[in-house]
């Protein structure tokens, strides 16, 4: 009763749905340019010194940026336990591939320049490339599979059973399209960062590749929307659902229907802001990259990421993980959350600590502002990668 006077259960559920989106978008934007820079490394840097410039452009900040990944994973674990259980069971091999690739990054940063050997350094450069490409690709593939529905069901005791087979079933055509969109989007973002942090030949190559990545992002986003409209069935709740009741995914009826993922836009036209920002951001990024407006290119690519990821969440609401084999088992905002008290305590902690994280991150970027060039590496007194 006391909690209801402060903030009711259904409102808390929506707040945590929004916060989860903010954390995932924060990870995609903050760590996205690190991943994108890794993808670009073999192509924008031709000499050892140029590769060191690229690595040192992200080296001081990439570890801090991964805080957003930890926060997102923690939020899923604490606020949406069934979502965490299904994701880490059904996508186990995909998660393993992502973690393996992410582990390559710190090892690559630390060991790459330990030996003055061209073969040694080239091997670690490609490891950093894999560490950027694989997470970007697999995360996009996962989103594409979520939009199509995941093969899981709940029994009468609410025990979760994953009925999928192998990692390769996730690599379906629509999933791969979403994976390629993710790669192109983060490559565009990485190019924006390298334009801001480097100069000369590295920046020129980043400008060329970033322009192509922006065009590909735009084309794949439009193609994905058309494919979703014409060829991917969505999910919708039949009848009513208790928005403030206990978490029981089986206490609802769900049907699969063509174009169901687009019904929210008809009911709430303001949601069209999501795909609009995705398109405008990609176009603006292309324009700023070509015009050599560095900060504009980075901010507009971040805007594109915000719009593209928001489009997925807004299209699916209130679903957070649909089931392809038992639609009634699909997880929604209203029936897959933790308790009222848990969400409230987590919200209080979030209100206290997230501003501290943002303030510290802002201070770090202020201190580390400026371009990385050959002189800064030569004068690094051994601290440069």
User: pLDDT at position 380, please?
Assistant: 59
Distance between CA atoms of residues 21 and 57, nearest Å:
27
Backbone angles phi, psi at 241, to 5 degrees: -140, 140
Q: Are 370 and 278 in contact (CB under 8 A)?
A: no
The pLDDT tens digits for 24-58 are: 999 999 989 999 999 999 999 988 888 989 998 88
70 CB-contact burial (10 Å; exposed 0-12 / middle 13-18 / buried 19+): exposed
Q: Are 372 and 202 in contact (CB under 8 A)?
A: no
**In angstroms, how far is CA 304 from the centroid of its own chain?**
12
The pLDDT tens digits for 191-213 are: 999 999 998 899 999 999 999 99
Walk me through the domains of the chain, giving residue ranges and CATH numbers: 2-378 (1.20.1630.10)
Distance between CA atoms of residues 186 and 217, nearest Å:
9
User: pLDDT at position 165, please?
Assistant: 66
User: pLDDT at position 5, please?
Assistant: 63
Q: What percent of the chain has pLDDT over 90?
A: 57
Q: What is the C-alpha end-to-end distance of the chain, expressed in Å?
A: 56
Size of the chain in residues:
385
Nearest Cα residue to 50 out of 188, 205, 190, 183? 205
Distance between CA atoms of residues 138 and 270, nearest Å:
30
Largest CA distance in the chain: 67
Which residue would you say has higher pLDDT here, 272 or 241? 272
Tokens of 109: 């940063």
Distance between CA atoms of residues 205 and 51, nearest Å:
12
User: pLDDT at position 384, please?
Assistant: 67
Compute the C-alpha angle 271/273/276, nearest 5°. Answer: 130
């Amino acid at each position: 009763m006391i909690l209801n006077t402060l903030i009711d259960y259904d409102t808390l559920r929506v707040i945590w749905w929004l916060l989860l989106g903010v954390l995932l978008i924060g990870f995609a934007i903050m760590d996205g340019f690190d991943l994108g820079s890794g993808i670009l490394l073999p192509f924008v840097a031709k000499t050892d010194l140029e590769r060191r410039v690229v690595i040192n452009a992200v080296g001081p900040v990439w570890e801090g940026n991964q805080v957003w990944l930890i926060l997102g994973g923690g939020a899923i674990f604490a606020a949406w336990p069934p979502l965490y259980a299904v994701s880490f069971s059904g996508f186990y091999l995909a998660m393993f591939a992502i973690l393996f690739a992410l582990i390559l990054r710190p090892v690559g940063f630390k060991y790459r320049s330990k030996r003055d050997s061209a073969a040694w350094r080239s091997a670690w450069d490609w490891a950093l490339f894999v560490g950027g490409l694989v997470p970007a690709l697999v995360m996009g593939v996962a989103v594409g599979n979520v939009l199509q529905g995941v093969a899981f069901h709940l029994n009468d005791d609410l025990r979760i059973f994953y009925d999928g087979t192998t990692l390769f079933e996730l690599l379906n055509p629509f999933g791969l399209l979403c994976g390629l969109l993710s790669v192109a989007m983060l490559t565009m973002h990485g190019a924006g960062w390298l334009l801001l942090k480097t100069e000369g030949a590295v920046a020129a190559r980043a400008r060329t590749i970033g322009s192509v990545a922006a065009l590909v992002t735009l084309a794949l986003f439009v193609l994905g929307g058309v494919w979703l409209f014409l060829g991917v069935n969505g999910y919708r709740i039949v009848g009513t659902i208790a928005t403030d009741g206990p978490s029981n995914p089986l206490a609802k009826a769900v049907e699969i229907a063509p174009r169901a993922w687009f019904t929210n836009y008809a009911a709430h036209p303001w949601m069209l802001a999501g795909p609009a920002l995705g398109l405008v951001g990609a176009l603006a990024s292309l324009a700023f990259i070509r015009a050599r407006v560095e900060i504009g290119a980075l901010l507009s690519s971040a805007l594109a990421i915000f719009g593209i990821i928001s489009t997925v969440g807004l299209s699916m609401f209130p679903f957070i993980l649909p089931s392809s084999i038992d639609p009634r088992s699909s997880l929604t905002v209203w029936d897959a959350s933790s308790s009222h008290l848990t969400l409230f305590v987590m919200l209080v902690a979030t209100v206290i600590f997230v501003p501290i994280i943002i303030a510290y991150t802002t201070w770090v970027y202020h201190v580390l502002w400026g371009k990385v060039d050959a002189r800064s590496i030569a004068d690094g007194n051994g601290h440069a990668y």
